[in-house]
Structure 1
Amino acid sequence: MSNTRTVLCYGDSLTWGYDAAAPGRHALADRWPTVLGNALREGVHVIAEGLNGRTTAYDDHLADADRNGARILPTVLHSHDPIDLVIILLGTNDMKPVVHGTAFGAVQGVERLIELVRHHAWSFDAEAPEILIVAPPAACETANAAFAAMFAGAREQSAMLASLYADLADETGCGFFDAGSVAKTTPIDGIHLDAENTRAIGRGLEPIVRVMLGL
């Protein structure tokens, strides 16, 4: 058996590395799962599982792929098990009025993801992994009319996610990290991160991930 620890980063465009300035995708070295993996070094395998537009547990009927995080998660868990730690960084896309539009809805969705991880049919009788809930940085004001309309109300609702996710983590025995404590969204579109801010999330996560993995 391998002694390598496996960390699954389950997220949306913030994990995929969406670059609002290009627009395009950040360099691999700038994406937060890469930064986290480099900081943890040998013995830890960090898997970046990011999909643009992914929600916690809701359908997006305008999407060209299945963006429902709850429906896809069991398949992803089977693809990568055994897993020692699942990092969940989701909720921003739940803020779209067409998806759900509230922080409370995102909390319910993350709670569903926690249940899926804990009740998953893990291979080889493996134990369920630890779970780290990460609150995304709050949305900010933007002059981008399309994004402002798509995420109408998101500034107020997303600002509530950190405290609500922290409460959920306490209630469910998960780890918690507020990405907004180290990173800010870009006013280019009000939602995404520039390269420095996505790198900052990887650096910020390193200490808590070390503790949760017992490194």
Structure 2
Amino acid sequence: MQHILVYSDSLTWGIIPDTRQRLPFVQRWPGVMEIALNQQGHSVRVIEDCLNGRRTVFNDPFKPGRNGQQGLAQRIEIHSPLCLVILMLGTNDFQSMHTHTAWHASQGIASLIHTIRTAPVEPGMPVPPILVVAPPPILSPKGLIAAKFKAAETKCIGLAAAYEAVCAQLNCAFFDAGSVISASQVDGVHLDADQHGVLGLAIAQKVNAFLPE
């Protein structure tokens, strides 16, 4: 059985827009991806490590533990051997308490890639390949998270291009989620259930290249 680690935030955790509720595993995109890959004849288990509010490498001044760098190397060690790590982070880098741009988030992703590649896995275990997924552009934030994400739709401009450039430099696989899905019209940030389904199937196609025949 092949193990895939998905390291992400609330977009992948499956928060239902403008609520604090969660979609079930079979509706979240990692679950959709796992089901699709197994139906295609692979033997795959997806490990979800998705924390609401997680940034790339930045701290949340109000909640501890939201820096994506914290504990990442140990997670790679814990779950090894891994056939793939999927990173989908960056949305929370643009919360209103930050002045970050797409470039800052892309440098955060570069730092996470380095951490994964240098994690202290056991001798003989592989350094897992990495697939970076750029989250879809933030729309006008609404509802419960409007203040938290004020002006985020402007700060996030160019995120996919910045991630793609970093991945090209670091020889890392890349996928632009915004090429197949969009953020929810309900809150402007998270994903509706149907978009989880589309994204899960799209990423499953990308993941096929990392799995044995």
Query: What TM-score do you get using the length of structure 1 for normalisation?
Result: 0.92
Cα distance in 1, alignment partners of residues 142 and 170 from structure 2: 38
In structure 2, the partner of 1:114 is: 113
Cα distance in 1, alignment partners of residues 199 and 156 from structure 2: 17
In structure 1, the partner of 2:179 is: 181
Cα distance in 2, alignment partners of residues 112 and 71 from structure 1: 12
- How do 1:1-215 residues align onto structure 2 when only pairs under 5 Å count? 4-41=1-38, 42-63=42-63, 65-144=64-143, 147-215=145-213
How many corresponding residue pairs? 210
Q: Kindly provide the CA deviation profile for residues 125-147 of structure 1, in whole angstroms up to 9, marking residues without a partner as x.
A: 31211000000011112442x52
Cα distance in 2, alignment partners of residues 111 and 100 from structure 1: 19
Cα distance in 1, alignment partners of residues 61 and 151 from structure 2: 20
Deviation at 1:60, TM superposition (A): 0.7
- AA aligned to 1:126 is M
Structure 1, unaligned stretches of length 5 or more? none
Cα distance in 2, alignment partners of residues 59 and 21 from structure 1: 23
Deviation at 1:214, TM superposition (A): 4.2
- AA aligned to 2:5 is L
**Runs of at least 4 residues of structure 1 off by over 3 A?**
none
Cα distance in 1, alignment partners of residues 210 and 157 from structure 2: 26
Q: Kindly provide the CA deviation profile for residues 48-84 of structure 1, in whole angstroms up to 9, marking residues without a partner as x.
A: 1111000111111201x41111112112112211111
Q: Kindly provide the CA deviation profile for residues 74-110 of structure 1, in whole angstroms up to 9, marking residues without a partner as x.
A: 1211221111100000000001142453211111110
Cα distance in 1, alignment partners of residues 71 and 181 from structure 2: 27
Higher helix share: 1
Query: What TM-score do you get using the length of structure 2 for normalisation?
Result: 0.93
Q: Kindly provide the CA deviation profile for residues 13-45 of structure 1, in whole angstroms up to 9, marking residues without a partner as x.
A: 011111115441112211011001001104111
Contact map agreement 1:101 1:153 (CA 8 A) in 2: no
The root-mean-square deviation of aligned C-alpha atoms, in Å, is 1.5
SS in 1 for 2:146: helix
Structure 2, unaligned stretches of length 5 or more? none
